[in-house]
Amino acid sequence: MKKYLLTFLIALIIGLFLLNFSLKQYNDYSGIKVSSKYDEVYFIQYGVFSSVESMEENTISLQNYVYTMEDNLYYVYIGITTLEENALKLQKYFESKGYKTILKKFGISNQEFIKLLDNYDEVLKKTDDETAISSVNNQVLSKYEEVVINGSKN
């Protein structure tokens, strides 16, 4: 019995030492870590609907939108931006058109879309013209659908 207890204690000490050594090596690692990089993006949410039919009925007046389905609910988004000031500008624009919206933040790992969005954000940041805001926003939503939604299906 003592023989097994001593063997167990030695194995436990060696295991703890190796665990400490492994964790220390990971913390000191200076190479490329294999983890996804997410950029925080603001989504302007228009509404949540219980069915496709309800969503389609309530979005007839919108020029463009994207949606996601979570927990059997359809979440409709009418704007996307990386900058909070642009998110507030878009929200104000949609409120002037009579739409009630809320801001949500999500992480997106699609770097191709993020680069495109950064370019659109610069344009959006510099304008207060409603036509330009609408045009830029529609292009962003189209690119999101093309690059993120449809791109992930290829």
Q: What is the pLDDT along the chain (154 residues), one digit of tens a residue?
A: 666 787 887 888 888 878 777 766 655 544 444 445 688 999 999 999 999 999 999 999 998 999 999 999 999 999 999 999 999 999 999 999 999 999 999 988 888 999 999 999 999 999 999 999 999 999 999 999 998 888 755 4
**So what's the architecture of 39-153 in CATH?**
2-Layer Sandwich (3.30)
135 conformational bin, left if phi > 0, alpha if psi -120 to 50, beta if neither:
alpha
SS3 of residue 126 by DSSP: coil
Q: What are the sequence ranges of the domains in the chain?
A: 39-153
Assess contact for 81 and 121: CB atoms under 8 A. Answer: yes
